[in-house]
C-alpha cells in the first residue's frame, strides 16, 4: 500500500507542477484574473495534498492497515476539489458549461477535511 500511496503522491505532484506551469504561461493570456487565481488555488491544494500523501506513505506513526482510508479520502478529495476548480476556472474556454459540477468543489473540500481529521485521529490514538 505504501508504494501505491507514494506513487499517487508523485503523480499528483508532477501534475500540479505541469498544471501550475500551464496556468502561469498558457492560461494567463486567456483567463480573467479571478479565474486564474481559482486555477492556482486548485494547483496549490493539489500540491499540498500530494506532499501529504508522500508523508503518509513514509510515516510509521500510523499502522499500515490504517493508512488506506486516509489515502482514499485524500485522493478522492483532491480529484473532486482541485479538478473541479480546473474545469470551472477554464469554463469560458470550452463549449461545455462546467458550472453543473460546481457542487463537487465543496464536497471535495469536505472530503479533504475528513482526511486530515482521520490522519490526526489515527496518529494520536
Enclosing H/E stretch for 51: helix 33-58
pLDDT by residue, tens only, the chain of 125 residues: 789 999 999 999 999 999 999 888 888 888 788 888 988 999 999 999 999 999 999 998 988 889 999 999 999 999 999 999 998 888 878 777 777 778 899 999 999 999 999 999 999 88
Nearest Cα neighbor of 40 from 28, 53, 57 is 28
**Packed helices 67-89 and 33-58: angle between N→C axes, nearest 10 degrees:** 170
Task: Write down the pLDDT at residue 119.
Answer: 94
> What are the pLDDT digits (tens) for 63-93?
888 999 999 999 999 999 999 999 888 887 8
Structural domain including 74 reads 2-124
> What is the CB neighbour count within 10 angstroms for residue 64?
9
The answer to whether 74 touches 112, Cβ cutoff 8 Å, is yes
Q: Which residue in this structure is represented by grid cell 499528483? A: 12
> What is the CB neighbour count within 10 angstroms for residue 104?
19
Q: How many domains does the chain have?
A: 1
User: What's the whole-model pTM score?
Assistant: 0.88
Q: Is the dihedral of CA 120, 39, 82, 54 positive or negative?
A: negative
Amino acid at each position: 500500500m505504501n508504494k501505491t500511496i507514494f506513487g499517487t503522491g508523485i503523480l499528483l505532484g508532477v501534475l500540479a507542477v505541469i498544471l501550475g506551469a500551464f496556468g502561469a504561461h498558457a492560461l494567463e493570456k486567456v483567463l480573467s484574473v479571478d479565474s486564474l487565481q481559482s486555477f492556482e488555488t486548485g494547483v496549490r491544494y493539489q500540491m499540498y495534498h500530494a506532499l501529504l500523501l508522500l508523508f503518509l506513505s513514509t510515516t510509521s506513526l500510523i499502522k499500515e492497515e490504517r493508512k488506506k482510508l486516509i489515502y482514499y479520502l485524500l485522493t478522492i478529495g483532491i480529484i473532486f476539489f482541485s479538478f473541479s476548480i480546473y474545469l470551472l476556472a477554464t469554463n469560458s474556454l470550452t463549449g461545455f458549461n462546467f458550472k453543473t459540477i460546481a457542487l463537487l468543489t465543496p464536497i471535495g473540500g469536505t472530503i479533504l477535511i475528513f482526511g486530515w481529521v482521520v490522519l490526526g485521529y489515527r496518529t494520536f490514538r
